Amino acid sequence: MAFTHFPKETVPFLKEIEKNNNKEWFEAHKELYTALILEPSRAFVEEMGEHLQALVPTINAIPKINQSLFRIYRDTRFSKNKTPIKSKIGIIFWEGRHIRMQSSCFYLHFSPKELLVASGIRTFDPDLLAAYRDYIKIDANREALHAILEALSAKGYTIEEPYYKRLPSGFSKDISHAYLARMKAVAVYHTLSPSLISDPKLIPELFKHFENFLPLQQWLYHMTLTKKEIV
């Protein structure tokens, strides 16, 4: 039977995690986590993956932890947030030869507060930032990215803002769309109600947004191909 939506108890269970965020409580409710989040997430990746592969045949949709799924346990070593369990569930579909967070992707997460859909690359590492800057030195690439971002903004999506205040070396303020050189990330976001998670319209609704994001996802994918192979 094809996946259509998460159980109606999924978001309430995430609220319970927020109220009882400790390993003892979570271990006592591990079976609920498996039934309400882990197994439905795996089924979601398989179903949405089939849809996305119609758009991007080489997209990675792998229903495993540290692939399309993220660990439920938070890494608190370098974080101010010391709660051990995540109440926000992330899922990623990525394209390319690099690690998933440095690849062009379709992404979503859901929590008791929101369902967020996104596409892009959240932050460039130094090597990818250098590749991005070289790529947008070509006028046609810069013009294409600007047009894509303008079209997405016109549809009501939120675009990642420039991070740096000054232009990096090698860029003139007189070039077209110079703001693109001040980016540290390129991404588009849209927030939906978390209630959609348990709605049979979940897959078609998310696919509609991912389809709108496709031009940006593909632009970024071609940009990442210019980054040197990771050995």
Q: Is 218 helix (H, G, I), strand (E, B) or coil?
A: helix
Q: How far apart are CA 204 and CA 127, in angstroms?
A: 36
Map out the domains of the chain as residue ranges. 10-224
Q: How far apart are CA 63 and CA 141, in angstroms?
A: 33
Residue of 58, 67, 69 whose CA lies nearest to 217 = 58
The mean pLDDT of 121-132, rounded to a whole number, is 96
Predicted confidence (pLDDT) per residue in 139-178, tens digit: 999 999 999 999 999 999 999 999 999 999 999 999 999 9
Residue 136 CB contacts under 8 Å (≥ 6 apart), including other chains = 142, 145, 180, 181
Is pLDDT above 50 for 230? Answer: no
CATH of domain 10-224: 3.30.930
Model confidence band, residue 1 (pLDDT cutoffs 50, 70, 90): low
Residue 184 CB contacts under 8 Å (≥ 6 apart), including other chains = 123, 124, 129, 163, 164
Model confidence band, residue 231 (pLDDT cutoffs 50, 70, 90): very low
